[in-house]
Structure 1
């Protein structure tokens, strides 16, 4: 386990949910267990298919986000933490078939006063827009950032990086090693990704302009 752990509240767990999970942990013949939360897929009606798994506490990695419920620790990778941030977990054996129920908040990765262009006619641009909204933005939202697809011409995507990404010292790492890599893996017909952001205008960068600091949230 990390020597210094920064705890973040990702899920809102009701007292009954905490008590039931703690009971399940106590019922196992093992000590020092934590709960790993992972995303297995998206649900048709919204939200995510979320998996909970008991793991040894020493399975914590440097990239994990940790939540301390007071009774046990919960581990998330950055994508899972960003995707289900603020969801509410309840336990009511009489009400739900599995006992547990998760209510997911409406996703709001991009600030409400920022408009994402949607009038693209190129089918590849529309596929890219979907990739940005469903996979890229939820991942970088953990660092307070988001990406807007400004334009798409000649197989090249022109993107604006906002929020914590604008002016961030690691923005080019996030772009080249995270965003661009994911786009090329999933949409190889997109040949170039061009950053059109004025990073000098960034007001709240996640990392200041310091060489060698931090990592891409998409790594």
Structure 2
């Protein structure tokens, strides 16, 4: 029982550290995760900290995993509750915008920050970030392909191209909302995707008008 309690406390401590790491990295990037600073920020002793991670790279890799899980729970899961097809695709975009507008992360988006940080730096962290981005785009592509199969997007739609546009329009919100447009950028991003989907949908009544 004592052993189980220690394992549970260790798991909670690890989760708390990773949550803080992802939050900090959304602002400063993964290289900004000083082991000593993160230990202090989470109230963890250095010995306790190194019980979880042997080095900084492993911490970075685990932070990417944690951020991917957070994204799946906060963005992907709510969208999957919408009906399959064009409504699910739009629900995914709205869930993403909500994640940003709610200020879940102080930097807006963990993956937006770290993909620009590691795009030219070969190694395990870059590979893991790239895999997360590929999986995200592939998920959007599958939803678009499903909508085509259901007849809710025109047969001429290229799901991969639409996924690229969809992601780019969502990503722009991260910088635009923080640098100069504020909340207006969320209106623009929502409307841009909505109008694109309505134009491609044989039955636009499935989607909101605005």
What TM-score range do you get, normalising by the shorter chain? Answer: under 0.3
Structure number with the higher helix fraction is 2
Structure number with the higher strand fraction is 1
If asked which structure has higher relative contact order (CA below 8 Å, sep 6+), I would say 2
TM-score, normalised with respect to structure 2: 0.26
TM-score, normalised with respect to structure 1: 0.25
